[in-house]
Amino acid sequence: MLGAVLGLTACSGDEPQGAKPTAPVLQPGKPGESNQTLSPEEAGSARPGTPPNDADVTYVRDMIVHHRQAIQMAVLVPDRGADEQVKGLASRIADAQGPEIEMMDGWLKTHNKPPVPPAGHGDHNAHEGMPGMATPEQMDQLKAAKGAEFDKLFLRLMIAHHQGALAMADTVRTKGTEVRVQEMADDVTATQSAEIRRMQEMLGA
């Protein structure tokens, strides 16, 4: 799911506990050069070029919050879902977006920007108005659902979540300036558009 460029695929409650993700990120080489495999921290480091503007910083900070909720939704699937395809999709989302959060944290640190506070009970205020985010009521409904009902609700909420990420990517591609953030937005558009189509197929099956 990370794709050929920097992987960013789509906030209530706490982040899942466990070891920090360490999955590598593939960075394409320049013409004639080989690709490089980077750690999430290395992938967040700066390249020479135009410094980030406010739109870039806002995008990265908001996408960290956005990813956190996607993971919170995905980790509910193994115990509540029934469909193996849905479980596989949720596993890939969680496995991809953890390292991507690490990469974005590294980007903020490299540019001397404050980190995004850990997920907590006040997250809804932090993401109010952010495209695609599930409301606390929707998250409660998801946690209460089981089986096929859960699968359908998860897919609907995750489709909306991904569509919100596409809107955020469109905004930063227009207003942002920093090359790595532009790569993040391009990859969000490619990977999450494909996932939206797949989830829509699952709902229609």
* Per-residue pLDDT tens digits for 165-204: 999 999 999 999 999 999 999 999 999 999 999 999 999 8
CA 57 remoteness from chain centre: 15
Check residue 34 and give its pLDDT: 57
Sequence-distant (6+) residues with CB within 8 A of 78 are 87, 90, 91
For residue 134, give the DSSP letter. P
pLDDT at 11 exceeding the cut of 50: no
Buried b (16+ CB within 10 A) or exposed e, 136-148: eebbeebeebeee
Check residue 6 and give its pLDDT: 42
pLDDT digits (tens, 9 = 90+) for 62-98: 999 999 999 999 999 999 999 999 999 999 999 999 9
pTM of the complete model: 0.74
Residues of the chain with pLDDT > 90, as a percent, come to 68
Sign of CA dihedral 151, 153, 156, 157: negative
Position 54, amino acid: D
Where do the domains of the chain lie, and which CATH numbers do they carry?
Answer: 25-204 (1.20.1260.10)
For residue 48, give the DSSP letter. S
